[in-house]
Amino acid sequence: MAKDTTRPGRAAGTSTRSVHGGEREHRESDALTTPIYQTSTFWFRNSEELRAYQEGRLRRDEYGRYGNPTWRAVERKLADLEGAEDAVLFASGMCAATTTFLALLPRGGHLIVTSDCYRRTRQFCDEYLVKLGVEVTVIEPANPAKLAEAIREETVLFFTESPTNPYLRVIDVAEAAEIAHARGVRVVIDNTFASPVNHNPLADGADLVLHSATKYLGGHNDLLAGAVAGSEELVSKLRAAVGVLGGVTDPHSAYLLLRGMKTLDLRMRQHNASARRIAEWLEGHPRIRRVFYPGLPSHPDHPVARRQMRGFGGVVTFEVDADLEGTIRFVDACRIPYLAPSLGGVESLIEMPVLMSYWDKTPEERLAFGITDSLVRLSVGIEDVGDLIADLEQALEAV
């Protein structure tokens, strides 16, 4: 007898849920893996079937912009991993953020974001949300007093990454949610840097959790996708919005994401362990001025991170004790990490924010964002950590 199509359940471990969550709903062919439904539309046998679907008596897919079984499996898996009622997939992390803002912010509403934040998110606020009369207040991350101060009558959302980019500030989500909820404000946490393995913001009171699935969820630097998880009520609003705005994932990327997510727990354990070792090693190196990693006692949010997170993630930010050219010599001398934007994949990636994300800014603007000439962001992959340390060591000779 075939087993029931049960999910592993909330009691199962994260790795079991990474592998099995959301997968067993499609039994047509008894394929073990969820197929890639490479179709733009779905056909009805007759008008009665269409009518049953329209009246909600039949659950199925209709058109590729409203749903696809491959991406539904990803959505179920993510909801399972985040402890959410539902989740919705998008074409990219940016699309997840912009659709969430457009769906939830009314004309003339007020949004609070944190300063250490993915720069395109901030750009969307400055260049697009203003057109809707939405006002945006930027506050220092991890400062509850500033959050309380910034909330006003029209405030609808507080949006922040945790950890943030690139300084890896960790927001006390339970505290932020308490402050925000007391004033009727919803909290959206971009959990990209932590992944659901290291932190589940919904369990701490966040209303929605957002991911650039391009990063740890996909995990192989080979796809772009985004996702948001939360209550059925809020997620259904976002699902309706993406059906209109149109930023949906293609079925092939959804399959790659599903496949990547099966090893999420395994990969995160390696990212966490290697990054922590590298952060500790860098902190003791004479050519390193400062290391920012929430797993280090020297990080300002270490106590919150220890309380809130199960691991500290795979990104390490640091300042080389050198000027711009010396730091460039170090980065160029690295043989294992690729010089590339992004993070969260199996391959280590290294970049200098001054030359990558903040290239178009003036030196004064960069300093206002805290971006110095010697700042380096390393996304630690799953290579042997001894090899990575040896490589960084030889590269630091080039400074």
Ligand X SMILES: Cc1ncc(COP(=O)(O)O)c(C=O)c1O
Which tokens in the block code for residue 135? 């006002």
- Tell me the residue number closest to ligand X, measured at CB: 93
Query: Looking at 91-99, 131-139, 322-330, 389-397, which segment touches ligand X (CB under 6 A)?
Result: 91-99
The residue annotated as part of the active site, out of 77, 116, 118, 293, is: 118
Contact characters 103-142, ligand X, x per CB under 6 A: ---------------x------------------------
Q: How far is the CB of 191 from ligand X (least distance, A)?
A: 9
214 near ligand X, judged by CB under 6 A: yes
What does 52-101 look like in DSSP terms, one character per residue?
HHHTTSS----BTTT--HHHHHHHHHHHHHHT-SEEEEESSHHHHHHHHH
For residue 233, the surrounding DSSP H or E stretch is: helix 232-245
Among 79, 84, 94, 304, binds ligand X (CB under 6 A): 94
Q: How far is the CB of 214 from ligand X (least distance, A)?
A: 4
Active site residue 190: yes
The residue annotated as part of the active site, out of 17, 76, 215, 262, is: 215
Residue 307: partners with Cβ closer than 8 Å, 6 or more residues away:
none
- CB-wise, 193 or 330, nearer to ligand X? 193
93 near ligand X, judged by CB under 6 A: yes
Q: How far is the CB of 93 from ligand X (least distance, A)?
A: 2
- CB-wise, 199 or 396, nearer to ligand X? 199
Cβ–Cβ < 8 Å for 376, 330: yes
Active site residue 131: no
Query: Looking at 89-97, 106-114, 245-253, 262-270, which segment touches ligand X (CB under 6 A)?
Result: 89-97
The CA–CA distances, whole Å, from 89 to 21, 65, 260, 300 equal 15, 11, 15, 33
Which tokens in the block code for residue 151? 């909330």
161 near ligand X, judged by CB under 6 A: yes
Environment class of residue 397 by beta-carbon count within 10 Å: exposed (0-12), middle (13-18) or buried (19+)? exposed
- Across 246-281, b (16+ Cβ under 10 Å) vs e yields ebbbbbebbbbbbbbbbbbbbbbbbbbbbbbbbbeb
Q: How far is the CB of 147 from ligand X (least distance, A)?
A: 19
Cβ–Cβ < 8 Å for 86, 238: no
Active site residue 118: yes
Q: Which positions touch ligand X (CB under 6 A)?
A: 92-94, 118, 161, 165, 190, 192-193, 212, 214, 224, 226
Residues taking part in catalysis: 65, 118, 190, 215
